[in-house]
Protein backbone atom coordinates (compact mmCIF):
# COMPACT_ATOMS: atom_id res chain seq x y z
CA UNK A 1 0.00 0.00 0.00
CA UNK A 2 2.19 2.80 -1.23
CA UNK A 3 -0.51 5.23 -2.30
CA UNK A 4 -0.87 8.34 -0.17
CA UNK A 5 -3.87 8.90 2.06
CA UNK A 6 -4.98 11.71 -0.28
CA UNK A 7 -4.89 9.28 -3.25
CA UNK A 8 -7.05 6.82 -1.34
CA UNK A 9 -9.57 9.52 -0.39
CA UNK A 10 -9.73 10.55 -4.07
CA UNK A 11 -10.30 6.91 -5.08
CA UNK A 12 -13.03 6.50 -2.43
CA UNK A 13 -14.87 9.60 -3.66
CA UNK A 14 -14.58 8.40 -7.28
CA UNK A 15 -15.83 4.92 -6.38
CA UNK A 16 -18.76 6.44 -4.46
CA UNK A 17 -19.51 8.71 -7.44
CA UNK A 18 -19.69 5.66 -9.71
CA UNK A 19 -22.08 3.95 -7.31
CA UNK A 20 -24.49 6.85 -6.65
CA UNK A 21 -26.27 6.66 -10.07
CA UNK A 22 -27.37 3.13 -9.12
CA UNK A 23 -29.00 4.32 -5.88
CA UNK A 24 -32.80 4.25 -5.77
CA UNK A 25 -34.88 5.72 -2.95
CA UNK A 26 -37.12 2.69 -2.37
CA UNK A 27 -34.28 0.18 -2.11
CA UNK A 28 -32.76 1.10 1.20
CA UNK A 29 -34.29 -0.78 4.08
CA UNK A 30 -35.79 1.39 6.80
CA UNK A 31 -33.60 1.35 9.89
CA UNK A 32 -34.96 1.00 13.35
CA UNK A 33 -31.68 1.92 15.02
CA UNK A 34 -29.40 4.87 14.17
CA UNK A 35 -26.27 3.91 12.21
CA UNK A 36 -23.19 3.95 14.43
CA UNK A 37 -20.94 4.74 11.50
CA UNK A 38 -22.89 7.70 10.12
CA UNK A 39 -24.56 9.31 13.12
CA UNK A 40 -22.57 12.46 13.92
CA UNK A 41 -19.76 11.36 11.59
CA UNK A 42 -17.28 14.24 11.20
CA UNK A 43 -16.27 12.87 7.79
CA UNK A 44 -19.81 13.09 6.41
CA UNK A 45 -19.77 16.69 7.65
CA UNK A 46 -16.54 17.40 5.75
CA UNK A 47 -18.01 15.78 2.64
CA UNK A 48 -21.20 17.86 2.94
CA UNK A 49 -23.29 14.71 3.30
CA UNK A 50 -24.49 15.25 6.85
CA UNK A 51 -27.82 16.98 6.24
CA UNK A 52 -30.77 16.24 3.97
CA UNK A 53 -29.04 13.30 2.31
CA UNK A 54 -30.65 9.83 2.35
CA UNK A 55 -28.79 7.59 4.79
CA UNK A 56 -27.86 4.97 2.16
CA UNK A 57 -26.15 7.64 0.04
CA UNK A 58 -24.02 8.96 2.92
CA UNK A 59 -23.42 5.45 4.25
CA UNK A 60 -21.86 4.33 0.97
CA UNK A 61 -19.17 7.00 1.40
CA UNK A 62 -18.82 6.43 5.18
CA UNK A 63 -17.90 2.79 4.67
CA UNK A 64 -15.42 3.59 1.91
CA UNK A 65 -13.70 6.15 4.17
CA UNK A 66 -13.78 3.78 7.13
CA UNK A 67 -11.83 1.25 5.09
CA UNK A 68 -9.09 3.89 4.67
CA UNK A 69 -9.00 4.62 8.42
CA UNK A 70 -8.98 0.90 9.25
CA UNK A 71 -6.13 0.27 6.81
CA UNK A 72 -4.10 3.15 8.33
CA UNK A 73 -4.62 1.81 11.86
CA UNK A 74 -3.86 -1.77 10.78
CA UNK A 75 -0.66 -0.67 9.07
CA UNK A 76 0.44 1.38 12.10
CA UNK A 77 -0.43 -1.47 14.47
CA UNK A 78 1.45 -4.00 12.39
CA UNK A 79 4.60 -1.83 12.39
CA UNK A 80 4.56 -0.30 15.88
CA UNK A 81 2.28 -2.12 18.32
CA UNK A 82 3.51 -5.71 18.79
CA UNK A 83 1.22 -6.73 21.68
CA UNK A 84 -1.93 -5.47 20.00
CA UNK A 85 -0.86 -6.95 16.66
CA UNK A 86 -0.37 -10.37 18.30
CA UNK A 87 -3.73 -10.12 20.09
CA UNK A 88 -5.53 -9.14 16.88
CA UNK A 89 -3.81 -12.00 15.08
CA UNK A 90 -5.18 -14.45 17.65
CA UNK A 91 -8.67 -12.92 17.41
CA UNK A 92 -8.45 -13.13 13.61
CA UNK A 93 -7.45 -16.78 13.84
CA UNK A 94 -10.51 -17.49 16.00
CA UNK A 95 -12.95 -15.70 13.72
CA UNK A 96 -11.44 -17.33 10.65
CA UNK A 97 -12.88 -20.57 11.97
CA UNK A 98 -16.36 -19.14 12.46
CA UNK A 99 -19.06 -18.00 10.06
CA UNK A 100 -18.79 -14.31 9.13
CA UNK A 101 -21.65 -13.24 6.87
CA UNK A 102 -20.74 -9.54 7.24
CA UNK A 103 -17.40 -9.95 5.43
CA UNK A 104 -16.70 -9.37 1.77
CA UNK A 105 -19.77 -7.22 1.20
CA UNK A 106 -19.77 -4.24 -1.15
CA UNK A 107 -19.08 -1.04 0.81
CA UNK A 108 -22.65 0.23 0.46
CA UNK A 109 -23.94 -2.81 2.38
CA UNK A 110 -21.27 -2.78 5.08
CA UNK A 111 -22.56 -2.09 8.58
CA UNK A 112 -26.21 -2.35 7.56
CA UNK A 113 -28.46 -4.93 9.23
CA UNK A 114 -27.83 -8.40 7.76
CA UNK A 115 -31.36 -9.61 8.25
CA UNK A 116 -34.69 -7.98 7.49
CA UNK A 117 -36.69 -6.65 10.45
CA UNK A 118 -38.70 -9.54 11.93
CA UNK A 119 -42.44 -9.16 11.70
CA UNK A 120 -44.41 -9.50 14.94
CA UNK A 121 -45.80 -13.02 15.32
CA UNK A 122 -43.73 -14.39 12.42
CA UNK A 123 -40.20 -15.16 13.68
CA UNK A 124 -37.55 -16.31 11.21
CA UNK A 125 -36.39 -19.93 11.48
CA UNK A 126 -32.82 -18.68 11.38
CA UNK A 127 -31.05 -15.40 10.71
CA UNK A 128 -27.56 -14.71 9.36
CA UNK A 129 -26.71 -12.83 12.58
CA UNK A 130 -27.89 -15.84 14.63
CA UNK A 131 -25.81 -18.29 12.59
CA UNK A 132 -22.71 -16.13 13.06
CA UNK A 133 -23.34 -15.97 16.83
CA UNK A 134 -23.79 -19.72 17.14
CA UNK A 135 -20.67 -20.58 15.17
CA UNK A 136 -18.42 -18.33 17.29
CA UNK A 137 -19.87 -19.81 20.49
CA UNK A 138 -18.48 -23.23 19.58
CA UNK A 139 -14.84 -22.08 19.79
CA UNK A 140 -12.77 -22.53 22.98
CA UNK A 141 -12.00 -19.33 24.94
CA UNK A 142 -8.60 -17.67 24.27
CA UNK A 143 -5.77 -18.19 26.83
CA UNK A 144 -5.64 -15.50 29.58
CA UNK A 145 -3.14 -12.59 29.27
CA UNK A 146 -0.44 -11.82 31.85
CA UNK A 147 -0.74 -8.55 33.83
CA UNK A 148 2.25 -7.22 31.93
CA UNK A 149 0.67 -8.01 28.58
CA UNK A 150 -2.63 -6.44 29.70
CA UNK A 151 -0.85 -3.19 30.65
CA UNK A 152 1.03 -3.11 27.33
CA UNK A 153 -2.19 -3.81 25.51
CA UNK A 154 -3.97 -0.89 27.19
CA UNK A 155 -1.24 1.51 26.09
CA UNK A 156 -1.15 0.13 22.56
CA UNK A 157 -4.94 0.33 22.22
CA UNK A 158 -4.75 4.01 23.17
CA UNK A 159 -2.00 4.59 20.57
CA UNK A 160 -4.01 2.78 17.89
CA UNK A 161 -7.01 4.92 18.81
CA UNK A 162 -4.92 8.09 18.46
CA UNK A 163 -3.68 6.87 15.10
CA UNK A 164 -7.30 6.40 14.02
CA UNK A 165 -8.26 9.90 15.15
CA UNK A 166 -5.27 11.32 13.31
CA UNK A 167 -6.26 9.46 10.13
CA UNK A 168 -9.85 10.74 10.42
CA UNK A 169 -8.54 14.32 10.74
CA UNK A 170 -6.33 13.91 7.65
CA UNK A 171 -9.15 12.30 5.64
CA UNK A 172 -11.47 15.14 6.69
CA UNK A 173 -8.98 17.70 5.42
CA UNK A 174 -8.49 15.80 2.15
CA UNK A 175 -12.28 15.60 1.64
CA UNK A 176 -12.81 19.36 1.65
CA UNK A 177 -11.65 19.74 -1.95
CA UNK A 178 -14.25 17.20 -3.16
CA UNK A 179 -17.25 19.05 -1.71
CA UNK A 180 -18.18 20.67 -5.05
CA UNK A 181 -17.84 17.33 -6.86
CA UNK A 182 -19.96 15.57 -4.22
CA UNK A 183 -22.57 18.36 -4.39
CA UNK A 184 -22.74 17.93 -8.17
CA UNK A 185 -23.22 14.18 -7.86
CA UNK A 186 -26.09 14.74 -5.42
CA UNK A 187 -27.68 17.36 -7.66
CA UNK A 188 -27.48 15.09 -10.69
CA UNK A 189 -28.44 11.69 -9.28
CA UNK A 190 -30.07 12.03 -5.88
CA UNK A 191 -32.11 15.23 -5.75
CA UNK A 192 -34.15 14.54 -8.93
CA UNK A 193 -35.18 11.16 -7.52
CA UNK A 194 -36.22 12.69 -4.21
CA UNK A 195 -38.16 15.42 -5.98
CA UNK A 196 -39.93 12.84 -8.13
CA UNK A 197 -40.80 10.87 -5.01
CA UNK A 198 -42.15 13.98 -3.29
CA UNK A 199 -44.18 14.89 -6.38
CA UNK A 200 -45.69 11.38 -6.44
CA UNK A 201 -46.56 11.66 -2.79
CA UNK A 202 -48.12 15.06 -3.33
CA UNK A 203 -50.23 13.72 -6.20
CA UNK A 204 -51.42 10.81 -4.11
CA UNK A 205 -52.41 13.11 -1.27
CA UNK A 206 -54.05 15.82 -3.35
CA UNK A 207 -55.95 14.00 -6.04
CA UNK A 208 -59.24 12.57 -4.78
CA UNK A 209 -59.85 8.96 -5.84
CA UNK A 210 -62.11 8.50 -8.85
CA UNK A 211 -65.59 7.56 -7.70
CA UNK A 212 -67.04 4.68 -9.67
Question: Which residues of this chain interact with Zn ion, rule CB under 5 A?
Answer: 35, 37-38, 59
CB of 62 vs Zn ion, minimal distance in Å = 5
CB of 61 to Zn ion, least distance (A): 10
- With respect to Zn ion, which residue has the nearer C-beta, 43 or 81? 43
Residue among 37 and 153 whose Cβ is closer to Zn ion: 37
Nearer to Zn ion, 28 or 136 (CB): 28
Q: Pick the closer one to Zn ion by CB: 81 or 186.
A: 186
Q: How far is the CB of 171 from Zn ion (least distance, A)?
A: 16
How far apart, in Å, are the Cα atoms of 89 and each of 72, 85, 93, 165? 17, 6, 6, 22
- Residues 92 and 18 sit within 8 Å (Cβ to Cβ): no
- Closest distance between Zn ion and the C-beta of residue 38, in Å? 3
For residue 15, which of 195, 178, 167 has the smallest C-alpha distance? Answer: 178
Nearer to Zn ion, 94 or 113 (CB): 113
Q: ∠ at Cα 96 (154, 168), nearest 5°? A: 45
Q: Residue 122: helix, strand or coil by DSSP? A: strand
- Smallest gap from Cβ 124 to Zn ion, in A, equals 23
Buried b (16+ CB within 10 A) or exposed e, 198-208: eeeeeeeeeee
The smaller minimum CB distance to Zn ion, of residues 9 and 53, is found at 53
C-alpha–C-alpha distance, residues 100 and 132, integer Å: 6
CB of 154 to Zn ion, least distance (A): 30
Please name the residues in contact with 51: beta carbons below 8 A apart, sequence gap of 6 or more: none
What is the DSSP secondary structure assignment for residue 176, as one 8-state letter?
A: G
Gyration radius from the chain CA atoms: 22
Distance CA 93, CA 89 (A): 6
Amino acid sequence: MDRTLEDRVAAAVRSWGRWVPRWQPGESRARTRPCRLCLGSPLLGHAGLDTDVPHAVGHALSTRLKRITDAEVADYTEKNLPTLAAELGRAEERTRRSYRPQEGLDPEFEGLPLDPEPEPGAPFLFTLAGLARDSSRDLPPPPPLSEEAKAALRIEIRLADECGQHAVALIGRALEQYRPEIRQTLARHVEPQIQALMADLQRELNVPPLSG
